[in-house]
Chain A
Amino acid sequence: MNTPIRSTLLVLALVAVAAASAWPAPAAANSGPVVRLFPTNVLEDIRATTQVAEAMENSLQDIIRRMDMQQQLYTESLCEGADGDQGCERIARQIGATYLQMLEVMSDRLPQMEASVASTRDSLERRLREELGLRTTPTSLQDSLVGQSPTIAAESQPALRGRSGVRLSDRFKQYQELVTTGRNGQSQSLAVVASDIYLDMADASLLIAATRQEIARTALMEQLNQSFGVITPEMAKVVGGVKQILFGEVVGDGPIAAPPNAIGEPDYVSPLAM
């Protein structure tokens, strides 16, 4: 995998880890296996991870914003293809230096982040295994998924994995709301929410580990580039990807909304129904 993709994925992972910084303190738990998916220790793990991630996200946002301005200046100064222009070379070196700064921020915070994400993933993994894997049958699992209202407002549902295209922090805000309303028994199954967060955390762990391996090499390459004042296409891609993730608003397809049931016509319940 090449550097820009890895870097972009890293930021994806990091923003994913910034899962809902204001997750509520656990309220009195309802009965039932699904609610026990989010006991106090899981929420505490997420909160701890969020504190680490928040600081990193803020640092990256500042750097990205600065890099964006530098890139704009570079473009407006018609520096593309202007070889030998000293002013352009100076701007290019500034962009490269900012880029290096971004890598340094990542590098400094990644070990702590990695440990925190792993802890959250492990605690969710334990809950999923115990509550859904060992204390639930396929029949009761399906019952718990069907249990909630069949007509949930589309905007209250998180897009399922691989379908969202939505900025990750927004997705986690949806999770936060769902955990809150789910505790009150009014919304989407917490089994779905827990599964989604767990799989995201598992992916984030892998990506952080992979990125840590690559970051030193990337930094070295950029230090070499600094000698020549080059803005590589890879750098531009990385910056574009990071911007999209942190500030972008790409909205993907949500689940298809269901039309309302016919008014005044009660649903038929067959004696054969499960």
Chain B
Amino acid sequence: MNALRMLLLLVAAHVLAGCAAEATDACRGQLGGTLDSAMVDAESRLANGCGYEFERYFGELLTIAEANPDRRNAQHFSEFLLRQTAAGTISRRTAEGLYNRYFNIKFVSLQGDYNTCSQTCPVRARVLSTMQTELKDKELGLLRVSNDPASFYRADHLYKEAELVLEATCRACEAGNGR
């Protein structure tokens, strides 16, 4: 009797382990096909316990979209992110951060609620370096995924303007501190 019970336990454990492995495999597979079908696939997986793979899915969706650039892709990504926010996979803040990082002219890296002298100037080099990295993401999102060169060039120009204005403003702030 005991032997039978042990055997049943072993079988159950094996089945459970197999299911878990199957679920992991389901999460691991690469997304493919069109952007629409890949988004459906990703959403299905995210709804079935693959939330920890969100970042990878998002990156793969960008890669798929890059191969099929279209002005409407930004809207597709926005709607995808909103659905994931509603589903509770990611927070609203994360969704905003991702969308703006890739599809907005403005820089997420240049934000803050305190004055420029105190918040940005002490870390100006770091802020500009982060903006430079973000500009590369915008190149992917705006130029290569959305086929929107006008917006990308505007973002590029905004980066240069911000660099110039911060140089002058921070120099003026420092001069004021020295007096």
Contact = CB atoms under 8 A, between A and B. Distances in A.
B27 to A, nearest CB: 25
A133 B115 contact: yes
Contacts of A136: 115-116
A270 B156 CA distance: 21
Contacts of B78: 268, 270-272
A139 B110 contact: yes
A202 B169 CA distance: 12
Contact of A258 (B74, B119, B153): B153
Interface string B136-170: 00000000000001110110111011101101111
B149 A192 contact: no
B106 interface: yes
Which of B82, B95, B104, B172 counts the most chain A CB atoms within 10 A? B172
Interface in A171-201: 189, 191-192, 194-196, 198-199
Interface string A111-139: 00000000000001110110011111111
B169 A133 contact: yes
Contacts of A128: 168-169, 172
B176 interface: yes
Contact of A195 (B111, B151, B165, B173): B165
B2 to A, nearest CB: 60
A270 B158 contact: no
A194 B164 CA distance: 10
B117 A268 contact: no
B176 A129 contact: yes
Interface string B93-110: 001100110011111101
Contacts of B108: 274
Nearest to A125: B172
B65 to A, nearest CB: 14
A259 interface: yes
Nearest to A157: B157
B167 A195 contact: yes
A27 interface: no
Given A133-B117, A142-B110, A268-B72, A258 B171 contact: no
A115 to B, nearest CB: 18
Interface string B49-85: 0000000000000000000000110110010011000
A274 B164 contact: no
B165 A268 contact: no
Interface stretch (A143-151, A217-225, A240-248): A143-151
Interface residues of A, number: 46
A194 B161 CA distance: 11
Contacts of A143: 106
A141 B165 contact: yes
Given A150-B154, A192-B165, A258-B154, A270 B120 contact: no
A18 B73 CA distance: 50
Interface in A192-241: 192, 194-196, 198-199, 202
Contacts of B1: none
Nearest to B92: A272
A250 to B, nearest CB: 21
Contact of A160 (B114, B115, B119, B161): B161
B4 interface: no
19 contacts: A126-B172, A133-B116, A133-B117, A133-B121, A136-B115, A137-B114, A138-B119, A139-B111, A141-B169, A145-B161, A150-B105, A150-B151, A150-B154, A192-B164, A195-B168, A195-B169, A268-B78, A270-B78, A273-B104
Given A134-B115, A142-B110, A261-B150, 17 more contacts: A128-B172, A132-B116, A132-B168, A139-B110, A139-B113, A145-B158, A150-B151, A160-B160, A189-B165, A195-B167, A198-B171, A199-B167, A255-B153, A256-B156, A270-B99, A272-B96, A273-B104
Closest 9 CB pairs of A and B: A195-B168, A270-B78, A272-B99, A133-B117, A128-B172, A129-B172, A138-B112, A258-B150, A258-B153
